[in-house]
Amino acid sequence: MDTTEKIETKPADFIRQIIAEDLRTGKHAGTVTRFPPEPNGFLHIGHAKSICLNFGIALENNGVCHMRFDDTNPSKEEVAYVESIQKDVKWLGFDWHDKLFYASDYFPALYNYAVELIKMAKAYVCDLSAEEIREYRGTLTEPGKESPWRNRSIEENLDLFERMKKGEFAEGSHVLRAKIDMQSPNLNMRDPVIYRILKVEHHRTGDTWCIYPMYDYTHCLSDAIEGITHSLCTLEFEDHRPLYDWVLDTLKTPCHPQQIEFARLNLTYTVMSKRKMLQLVEGGYVDGWDDPRMLTVSGLRRRGYTPASIRNFCSLIGIGKKESWIDMGVLENAVRDDLNNTAARVMCVLDPIKVVIDNYPEDQVEELEAQNHPQNSEMGTRKLPFSQELYIERSDFMENPPGKFHRLGPGREVRLRYGYLVRCVSFVKDEAGSVQEIHCTYDPATRGGSAPDGRKIKGTIHWVSARHAIPTTVRLYDRLFLTENPEADKNTDFKTHLNPDSRISMAGAMAEPSLTALPPGAQVQFERQGYFSVDPLESSAGRPVFNRIVTLRDSWAKLQHD
């Protein structure tokens, strides 16, 4: 081995540096992170960034990463989401072992902590309406105003809070607020609401509770209860950190995790919030959360993305402190790079036109040897049936081709991949003038694709034997939006930027017969076309339906360049 060869290592990001330093100084016995989704939607590629970060750090440091459902808002949460989230995290390749938690498990503890705050005169029951609370809060430029209920006695607060819990009050009539500072420059510190009345059944606790703790109050305490060392979250929580710390400091919890914020993933040509994604699903703009055009983990899985490609993408984009945008092309490249190494090459004609080889014996079938991967002989070979009638791509024939067109045209010769050289001798048109059938002759001396006389043939095209091909449907998926940032203009509905051609169905495609054996989810490269996968929902035995995962090259980059 060349000793000067450098092993490429990426410098640790700022969070990994903090954790390494904490381990070096022995600040914690070990590293404990958590991934805390709210079960109110499916996970998306942005969550994948957080998953790779939290579970990745645990793996790298011999630590653990907890899976915690932040289920404090029963009106928007569902068991179906809890299940899909677990499936997605596992599919991405991560494991929480026995560390599966729910914030709802802490409802009794959180209630007791709230009682403690009341007893310390650090929380009070407020009778202002939501509207009034907003008014009293002030703005960034105006200080807040104290609630008339702020100085209730501890006894009265304890009594009212208990009665809130018992269900004696209507929704919206009372809340419990932390008593912090209405003059604080940080709006989050102006007596934030920590409990509200919600007469809604919870998917785990049923009707046990009719008061529910707010996110900011729940999150820090859940972290502390679980002994989290580093609580990693996205930048929008930076302003909430003083409250995170205030709750834990005031209650003097034995564990005080360090909240560290990082920049969320923003990806071009998509929307990245569960709320917006829900609009697409509920409005029927896509076929569900796992529509192959959705940037959800389940959509990417169904499209044919590999977990490794998503992990590689997350590692490539890294972790930083500044908001930035990642081009969709980076994600597409990640799956291209992965599948380039692993996907078998096969042939499928998306828009077929028939080719008859006039001088090929009508009853003859040859088995041609085809490589499954041009650079990896270990992936083996397969047999391709060849017969007198074939299908080729309609776009590979031109009646009056320009000079640079290296495919088929009258009198022109082309190479059939793994087959013979064929020359077009005539073609048949229908009444409307469109080409119906192409007639060729083949050169029997060119089996395998090269001519013994050394004549140069520039074009190689893919084909299938008409008699042996399997009819299949191929869905050509493209980006869901036409503009880089569909949310850029706040006055325009992001849905006006949807790409009307984000799914084109090729219902008459013809695939080589080996493709009937592919299991659901399998990925292949259709030569010259791109990477495709067997759709797990629409395919049936022997009848695959294919999803285009990604084209072979970044056609969008080319468009922009042109």
Residues marked active site are found at 38, 264, 274
- Cα 330 from Cα 318, distance rounded (Å): 12
DSSP 8-state assignment for residue 164: H
Residues 442-471 that bind ligand ATP (CB under 6 A): none
47 binds ligand ATP (CB under 6 A): yes
Strands laid side by side in the 211-213 sheet: 123-126, 175-178, 193-197, 211-213
Contacts of 312 (CB under 8 A, 6+ apart): 334, 337, 338
C-alpha pair distances (Å), 95 with each of 47, 89, 297, 421, 450: 15, 8, 16, 53, 52
Site mask, ligand ATP, residues 48-77, x = CB under 6 A? -xx---------------------------
Residue of 247, 184, 253, 179 lying closest to 218 (CA atoms): 247
Choose, by CB under 6 A, the member of 67, 189, 233, 349 that binds ligand ATP. Answer: 233
Q: Given the complex with ligand ATP, which of 115 and 272 has the nearer CB atom?
A: 272
Name the helix (H) or strand (E) containing 154. Answer: helix 154-166
Choose, by CB under 6 A, the member of 28, 32, 46, 388 that binds ligand ATP. Answer: 46
Min dist CB 279 to ligand ATP, Å, is 12
Min dist CB 37 to ligand ATP, Å, is 4
Min dist CB 51 to ligand ATP, Å, is 8
487 binds ligand ATP (CB under 6 A): no
Question: What is the SS3 assignment for 286-314?
Answer: CCCCCCCCCCEHHHHHHHCCCHHHHHHHH
38 binds ligand ATP (CB under 6 A): yes
Q: Which stretch binds ligand ATP (CB under 6 A): 265-273, 280-288, 393-401, 546-554?
A: 265-273
272 binds ligand ATP (CB under 6 A): yes
The amino acid that residue 433 corresponds to is G
SS3 content of the chain, % helix, strand, coil (to 5): 30, 25, 45
Q: Which stretch binds ligand ATP (CB under 6 A): 42-50, 176-184, 457-465, 494-502?
A: 42-50
Min dist CB 483 to ligand ATP, Å, is 19
37 binds ligand ATP (CB under 6 A): yes
Q: Which stretch binds ligand ATP (CB under 6 A): 20-28, 272-280, 345-353, 436-444?
A: 272-280
Q: Given the complex with ligand ATP, which of 153 and 273 has the nearer CB atom?
A: 273
Q: Given the complex with ligand ATP, which of 84 and 533 has the nearer CB atom?
A: 84
Q: Given the complex with ligand ATP, which of 41 and 419 has the nearer CB atom?
A: 41
Choose, by CB under 6 A, the member of 126, 265, 509, 515 that binds ligand ATP. Answer: 265
273 binds ligand ATP (CB under 6 A): yes
Residue nearest to ligand ATP (CB): 46
In contact, 69 and 84? CB cutoff 8 Å: no
- Cα 110 from Cα 103, distance rounded (Å): 9
Size of the site for ligand ATP (CB under 6 A): 15
264 binds ligand ATP (CB under 6 A): yes
Name the helix (H) or strand (E) containing 394. Answer: none
Min dist CB 233 to ligand ATP, Å, is 5
36 binds ligand ATP (CB under 6 A): yes
Site mask, ligand ATP, residues 119-148, x = CB under 6 A? ------------------------------
- Cα 204 from Cα 474, distance rounded (Å): 42
Min dist CB 165 to ligand ATP, Å, is 26
Question: What is the SS3 assignment for 7-64?
Answer: CCCCCCCHHHHHHHHHHHHCCCCCCEEEECCCCCCCCEHHHHHHHHHHHHHHHHCCCE
Residue 439, classed as helix, strand or coil, is strand
In contact, 398 and 414? CB cutoff 8 Å: no
Token pair of 154 as six digits:
């501890």
Residue 426, classed as helix, strand or coil, is strand
Q: Tell me which residues touch ligand ATP (CB under 6 A).
A: 36-38, 46-47, 49-50, 233-234, 264-265, 272-275
